[in-house]
Amino acid sequence: MGKPHPVELRERVVAFADEGHGHRESARHFRVSPKFVNDMIKLRRETGLLLPKQQGNSGRTGKLNGLTDWVRARLAEQGELTLDELCLELVRDHGVAAHRSSVCRWLHRLRLNHKKNLARQRATSP
């Protein structure tokens, strides 16, 4: 993801448009897209500021993060659960609906994934 345009450029673009120049003309003059000019005018009208929004994960946590202790205890108690069973228990016990791929990624982040040992599955020689 690229970096946001500097606040100084944002202010100059909006000031140029406020002088009576059109959005497309402002975009050509400052070598930005017309959508950028439109977005800056809209942002200033709605918030009064031209500060860029925070990029990336803005400190939000997922809906499964609060259930870390529960899932560790549940897997220690039960042993092995399939992803589908775990998804059903999340809905039943906590009212949290999550897709099985999200639960799988969550378990990987918690290092609770189960990897089969291929050496143990081999047939023994007679």
98/87 Cα distance (integer angstroms): 6
Residue 120's pLDDT band, with cuts at 50, 70 and 90, is low
What are the structure tokens assigned to 46, written together?
A: 């709605």
23-54 pLDDT tens trace:
999 999 999 999 999 999 999 999 999 999 88
SS3 48: coil
- Model's pTM, two decimal places? 0.50
Q: What is the mean pLDDT of residues 55-60?
A: 68
Query: E strands of 5-125, at which residues?
Result: none
More confident residue, 124 or 101: 101
